[in-house]
Amino acid sequence: MSHRFEVDDVHSKGEDETIHYVYSSFLRKCPMLLRHDQEKLDHIRKDTLYHIEHLEAASEFKMDSIFLDYVRRTDSKLTSRGIKTELLNDCFTWMKEVLRSNQQ
């Protein structure tokens, strides 16, 4: 995974907007979640906030390795629970889309 973000862009667009966009994107990709699993949807919101928090820490210390280590641990934990890397990758892609729309 090679996603590069700028934290200032996340804040200027707003964490809430980023979380909402990722959440909405998951619903478009997996609409059955809306009807079947509110708990998973709540996890999507929380996980996106964790992604942003780790991104902020990496940016504050100017150390991409902090975020990359977090991504590796998160991916390992999710795949051990049967969640494909694709969904984590999608989440970062959707976060990046918010950032790009902010830059335009």
Given a contact cutoff of 8 angstroms between Cβ atoms, the answer to whether 32 and 80 are in contact is no
Q: pTM of this prediction?
A: 0.69
pLDDT for residue 5 = 43
Query: What pLDDT was estimated at residue 36?
Result: 66
What tens digit of pLDDT does each residue of 89-99 get? Answer: 998 899 888 87
pLDDT tens digits for 44-97? 788 888 888 888 888 888 888 888 898 999 999 989 988 889 988 998 899 888
Q: Which of 101, 47, 41 is nearest to 71 (CA)?
A: 47
Domain ranges of the chain: 37-102
From residue 77, give the alpha-carbon distance in Å to each of 45, 87, 94, 102.
17, 13, 21, 31
Contact 96, 3 (CB under 8 A): yes
DSSP state of 63: -
